A and B are shown apart, each in its own frame.
Chain A
Amino acid sequence: MNYTLKIKIADYVFQCIIEDFNLYKILRNKYRAFSDKRRADVVMHFSLKHDNRRYYKLKDDFKKHKIDFNVNSKDMCRIIHNNFYGFENFLSSVIYYWLLHKKVIVLHASGVIRNRKAYVFCGKPGAGKTTIAKLLGSQIMNDNEILIKKRNSKFVAYSSPFKRRGIKPKNINAPLAGIFFLKRRNFKKITKLGKDQAFKHIIINHYIPKFSYQYKNDVENLFKMCIGITGSAPCYELSFKLDKKIWRDINALTKLHNEKEGFSFRNS
């Protein structure tokens, strides 16, 4: 028997057809906030290979959606001792790959919404993405991965259901207000980045699914998106000290910058 689950990510609906009820149950509970009933844009069929170990494999249905996706033995996912993360990595890689094809990029970042604008905080592991998201205390989108898509000539940040670390992500989106590249320091400083520096930081913090390297067009899409983002959203390097006054500091520091440069960066 097959079980069907539909999840909506960045305005696209992904339909997962799963043979294993246990896996379906885990997915349904985990992605409840992202479930949707609309007609699916992509259908993914995960089959269970029956042997002593549990392997999941993506069937060829993906090809029907005009993506040349090669499934080989390496793309199979194995779940050991009910460890769900192996499967989630696999699922997110496939979905992110498809999204990149549709010009949606994924940043290794946390994101919060304040005053209907999305603030995205990028950084290496340990830079303070989760910490800053918790400290800011607003609507937290996701604390590890944020999707960015162009909608009506504006860049919009979407939350991702995957790879959250302790914070339950909400299925929310908002126009991008700014991207902050975090550096943990003992002092507070904000530096507005030039387009070239911002581009470099975005590329470094972008999550490229392994499949994407097979296709030049996808990486070209990624470059175009990154250039577009650097042209429309302000990017800052934020050195910060962890304390509860972080919003006040961000507001004050960005305001100072905007006054200097005549840039309109609306927040309160």
Chain B
Amino acid sequence: MRLQNYIMKKKDLVSGTVENKTFIIDLKKKNVVYELNRAGSFIWGLINDKKSIPDLVDGVKKEFGIGEKKAEADVKQFISTLKKSKLVISK
């Protein structure tokens, strides 16, 4: 995964946040609801605009007060999970 790549949400998704958890429905996949925990919801909220991985890492560092390496590893892992589920695309 290139760090400079922009991460964007896929179209045709509907998401809602309830008590720090985000639920996502992909309109093209019926009967599937994705659930994100607090950290995932925070990152998902950041991806609302076009964001690169370093932008997301900065945001996570500030929000959760963790080190650069840990934040980067977590963000990369999370983004790759989102990509596998086809919820985001990178350009």
A254 part of interface (Cβ distance < 8 Å): no
Q: How far is the CA of A227 from the CA of B21 in the complex (A)?
A: 12
Determine if B14 and A223 form an interchain contact, defined as CB atoms under 8 angstroms apart. yes
- Which residues in A have their C-beta under 8 angstroms from that of B23? 199-200, 203, 223
Q: How far is the CA of A208 from the CA of B25 in the complex (A)?
A: 12
* Least distance between A193 CB and chain B CB atoms (Å): 11
Determine if A213 and B27 form an interchain contact, defined as CB atoms under 8 angstroms apart. yes
- Which residues in B have their C-beta under 8 angstroms from that of A200? 23, 33, 35
* Least distance between A232 CB and chain B CB atoms (Å): 13
* Least distance between B14 CB and chain A CB atoms (Å): 4
Determine if A219 and B19 form an interchain contact, defined as CB atoms under 8 angstroms apart. no
- Which residues in B have their C-beta under 8 angstroms from that of A226? 16
Q: How far is the CA of A210 from the CA of B12 in the complex (A)?
A: 15
Q: Can you list, as one digit per residue, whether each of A178-219 has a CB less than 8 Å from chain B (1) or not (0)?
A: 000000000000000011100110011000101001101001
- A196-B21 contact, Cβ under 8 Å, with A203-B33, A216-B27, A219-B27: yes
Q: Which of B18, B20, B21, B25 contacts A219 (CB 8 A)?
A: B25
- B-side interface size class: 10 to 19
B2 part of interface (Cβ distance < 8 Å): no
* Secondary structure class of chain A's binding surface, majority of residues: helix
Determine if B27 and A230 form an interchain contact, defined as CB atoms under 8 angstroms apart. no
B28 part of interface (Cβ distance < 8 Å): yes
B62 part of interface (Cβ distance < 8 Å): no
Q: How far is the CA of A249 from the CA of B43 in the complex (A)?
A: 43
Name the residue of chain B whose CB is nearest to the CB of A198. B18
Determine if A220 and B14 form an interchain contact, defined as CB atoms under 8 angstroms apart. yes
Name B residues whose Cβ lies closer than 8 Å to a Cβ of A. Answer: 12, 14-16, 18-21, 23, 25, 27-28, 30, 33, 35
20 extra interface residue pairs, beta carbon distance < 8 Å, beyond A200-B33, A230-B18: A194-B19, A195-B18, A195-B19, A196-B20, A199-B16, A199-B18, A200-B23, A200-B35, A203-B25, A210-B30, A213-B27, A216-B12, A216-B14, A219-B14, A219-B25, A219-B27, A223-B14, A223-B16, A224-B16, A226-B16
8 A/B residue pairs, CB under 8 Å, sorted by A: A194-B19, A196-B20, A199-B18, A200-B35, A203-B23, A203-B33, A213-B28, A213-B30
Name A residues whose Cβ lies closer than 8 Å to a Cβ of B. Answer: 194-196, 199-200, 203-204, 208, 210, 213-214, 216, 219-220, 223-224, 226-227, 230
Closest 4 CB pairs of A and B: A223-B16, A196-B21, A219-B14, A199-B18
